[in-house]
Amino acid sequence: MVVRSINTDGGISGVHVVAMPYPGQGHINPMMNLCKRLASFGDLLITFVVTEEWLSFILSSAGSATPPSNLRLRSLPNVIPSERARADDFPAFVEAVYTKMEEPFERLLDQLEPAVSAIVADSYLPWAVAVGNRRDIPVASLWPMAASVFSMLYHSDVVAEHHPFPIPISEVGKEYVDYIPGVPRIRLADLPTMFHSSTAVDLMRWIKESFKMVPKATWLLLNSCEELEASAVDAIRSLLPSRVHPIRPFTLPPSPSQEKAGFVASYRAEVDCSAWLDGRPPNSVLYVSLGSFMSVSAPQVVEIAFGLRASGCPFLWIAREQDWLAKEDFDGKGLVVPWCRQMNVLSHPSVGGFFTHCGWNSTTEGISAGVPFLTFPIAADQTCNSKMIVEDWKIGLRVRGSNMGSCDDELVGREKIAEMVREVMDLDRKSSKEMRRRGRELREALNRAGQRGGSSDVSFDWFLNQVKAKRRAADLRLPV
């Protein structure tokens, strides 16, 4: 096993927290931002653990940036398939994560000094809770998605009592579900695709293993806040009394400048788009990004390209592995790049809208920027995030997922895309004005939650104080 570190312990003593994220970009970055926040309290030592492959990605993306002196990186062997091929056989990747990482993680714990005070592990790594319990180390289970999605998956058996599982996509139709605790009325089609995808049985089996271990963790940290999902947070608290802590979307750094100097996980070279954005009027540019993992079909990429061109709106498009798009000039109005620092772009004054796959990190970052959304969910939790954006918060429009049936089967034409882009980006339209007004209100509520004395700040302090107390896990754990 290779063990590497960016920096030494720097003489730090006291509480030692080990962080173990799920090996995917949408999971590693929220965990890293949480750890940077923990490390801002100088009397904590944070050991951040990733695979050798992900360590190389983080080091290459960091450039000359260095982490806080009390945050160090360690690695596990590459016992799982490469991130670059993760989407090729996702069920096999998930199985490897669940079955092959526990043993090398436990061997690493044996080598770490000082003694580990607490573990923070992604909720999709149930074996980390088991390791902590065996060693009498308290474990914080970090849920990386929306609180509403937690409730949907936690109560999957309740859904199965009403509908066959997996739910045949031909039977989804427009039927609504109103019995999931903390979740407003939602269409079957808007539930996470794990409920009705072709790989649902295999994936849900592993997901259920994760949820069996969540109650055995000392704490549950939610990557959300009461201001976004009050009913879902309350429902989860009723399941796990006194142990649930919504700690603001900690995917969000305190400021774009601090994010630029920090660590992010990505294996794609980033392009600095600030000069191009600087030359555009305020709120004029549509930012288009469909995530780091799943892809849309080639015909759909073509329809998006022609739709954006026809809209007449300036746009910045993050198009992975689509070299032909970068060669198009789009009448001088479009810039296509393979990757960028998303929060920097969303925070730029020229950006006035977000065409997104609705991953939870992207959703919270868009809310933090206060921009309206065009939702284009692809898979997993993105369908229900899209529903919340459009129906619950009313800060966006659906581009995809508005019809019954699978997202995979829905080809959205260029005419519809062009019209919806114009509707969101036309600052004089009543609908656009209303979405922007509500977006500003939600952004302000999110910021208040993270400010000193806000709901999430208080929750974070409570968790931090318990970790610092270094009490035994048995003394902290409450009966479920």
Range of the domain at 63: 15-255+449-470
Are 105 and 211 part of one and the same domain? yes
Give residue 339's pLDDT band: very low, low, confident or very high (50, 70, 90): confident
Structure tokens at 288: 């288009």
pLDDT of residue 404: 44
Are 302 and 359 part of one and the same domain? yes
Are 293 and 205 part of one and the same domain? no
pLDDT of residue 479: 38
Give residue 478's pLDDT band: very low, low, confident or very high (50, 70, 90): very low
Q: What is the 3-state secondary structure (H, E, C) of the chain?
A: CCCCCCCCCCCCCCEEEEEECCCCHHHHHHHHHHHHHHHCCCCEEEEEEEEHHHHHHHHHHHCCCCCCCCEEEEEECCCCCCHHHHHHHHHHHHHHHHHHCHHHHHHHHHHCCCCCCEEEEECCCHHHHHHHHHCCCCEEEEECCCHHHHHHHHCHHHHHHHCCCCCCHHHCCCCEECCCCCCCCEEHHHCCHHHCCCCHHHHHHHHHHHHHHHHHCCEEEECCCHHHHHHHHHHHHHHCCCCEEECCCCCCCCCHHHHHCCCCCCCCCCCCCHHHHHCCCCCCEEEEECCCCCCCCHHHHHHHHHHHHHHCCCEEEECCCCHHHHCCCHHHCEEEECCCCHHHHHCCCCEEEEEECCCHHHHHHHHHHCCCEEECCCCCCHHHHHHHHHHHCCCEEECCCCCCCCHHHCCCCHHHHHHHHHHHHCCCCHHHHHHHHHHHHHHHHHHHHHCCCCHHHHHHHHHHHHHHHCCCHHHHCCCC
pLDDT of residue 373: 98
User: What is the pLDDT averaged over residues 118-146?
Assistant: 96
Tokens 């409450």 label which residue? 478
Structure tokens at 378: 């692809």
Strand partners, 351: 285
User: What is the pLDDT averaged over residues 182-202?
Assistant: 85
Neighbours of 191 (CB within 10 A): 25
User: What is the pLDDT averaged over residues 25-50?
Assistant: 89
Residue type, 459: S
Give residue 270's pLDDT band: very low, low, confident or very high (50, 70, 90): confident
Q: Which of these, 127, 134, 109, lies nearest to 474 by C-alpha position?
A: 134
pLDDT of residue 256: 43
pLDDT of residue 10: 43
User: What is the pLDDT averaged over residues 3-29?
Assistant: 71
User: What is the pLDDT averaged over residues 279-289?
Assistant: 95
pLDDT of 53 > 90? The answer is: yes
Q: Which of these, 210, 214, 194, lies nearest to 202 by C-alpha position?
A: 194
Are 224 and 373 part of one and the same domain? no
User: What is the pLDDT averaged over residues 440-469?
Assistant: 89
Q: Is residue 6 part of a domain?
A: no
Q: What angle do CA 397, 385, 92 make, to 5 degrees?
A: 130
The answer to whether residues 305 and 215 touch, using CB atoms and an 8 Å cutoff, is no
Are 310 and 419 part of one and the same domain? yes
Complete edge-to-edge strand list for the sheet that includes strand 285-289: 334-337, 315-318, 285-289, 351-356, 373-375, 396-398
pLDDT of residue 3: 34
Distances (CA, A) of 270 to 110, 113, 260, 389: 37, 35, 11, 28
Please give the model's pTM, rounded to 2 decimal places: 0.88
Give residue 265's pLDDT band: very low, low, confident or very high (50, 70, 90): low
* Rounded Cα–Cα distance for residues 296 and 282 (Å): 30
Give residue 1's pLDDT band: very low, low, confident or very high (50, 70, 90): very low
pLDDT of residue 266: 54
Are 26 and 162 part of one and the same domain? yes
* Rounded Cα–Cα distance for residues 109 and 131 (Å): 10
Q: Which of these, 242, 50, 245, lies nearest to 150 by C-alpha position?
A: 245
Q: Is residue 477 part of a domain?
A: no
Q: Is residue 284 part of a domain?
A: yes
Are 368 and 401 part of one and the same domain? yes
pLDDT of residue 358: 96
Q: Is residue 2 part of a domain?
A: no
Picking from 16-30, 170-184, 355-369, 422-436, which range would have the lowest pLDDT averaged per residue? 170-184
Are 121 and 236 part of one and the same domain? yes
Q: Is residue 279 part of a domain?
A: yes
* Rounded Cα–Cα distance for residues 266 and 341 (Å): 10
User: What is the pLDDT averaged over residues 69-83?
Assistant: 92
pLDDT of residue 475: 41
Strand partners, 316: 287, 335
pLDDT of residue 64: 54
Are 121 and 71 part of one and the same domain? yes
User: What is the pLDDT averaged over residues 43-47?
Assistant: 91
Q: Considering the chain, what percentage of its residues have pLDDT values greater than 70? A: 84
Q: Is residue 117 part of a domain?
A: yes
Query: What is the count of structural domains for the chain?
Result: 2
pLDDT of residue 257: 42
Are 458 and 345 part of one and the same domain? no
pLDDT of 291 > 50? The answer is: yes
The answer to whether residues 291 and 310 touch, using CB atoms and an 8 Å cutoff, is no
pLDDT of residue 63: 60
Q: Is residue 101 part of a domain?
A: yes
Within 8 A by CB and 6+ apart from 445, the residues are 227, 228
Are 215 and 326 part of one and the same domain? no
Any idea what the CATH number is for the domain that residue 142 is in? Answer: 3.40.50.2000
Within 8 A by CB and 6+ apart from 297, the residues are 411
* Rounded Cα–Cα distance for residues 160 and 196 (Å): 11
* 403-438 as b/e: b if 16+ CB within 10 A: ebebbeeeebebeebbebbebbbeeeeeebeebbeb
Within 8 A by CB and 6+ apart from 469, the residues are none
Tokens 């034409």 label which residue? 413
User: What is the pLDDT averaged over residues 426-449?
Assistant: 94
pLDDT of residue 167: 79
User: What is the pLDDT averaged over residues 203-210?
Assistant: 88
Q: Considering the chain, what percentage of its residues have pLDDT values greater than 90? A: 54
| pLDDT tens-digit readout, 300-319 | 999 999 999 999 999 999 98
pLDDT of residue 169: 67
Are 76 and 149 part of one and the same domain? yes
Report the chain's mean pLDDT, rounded to a whole number.
85
User: What is the pLDDT averaged over residues 97-114?
Assistant: 95
Q: Is residue 444 part of a domain?
A: no
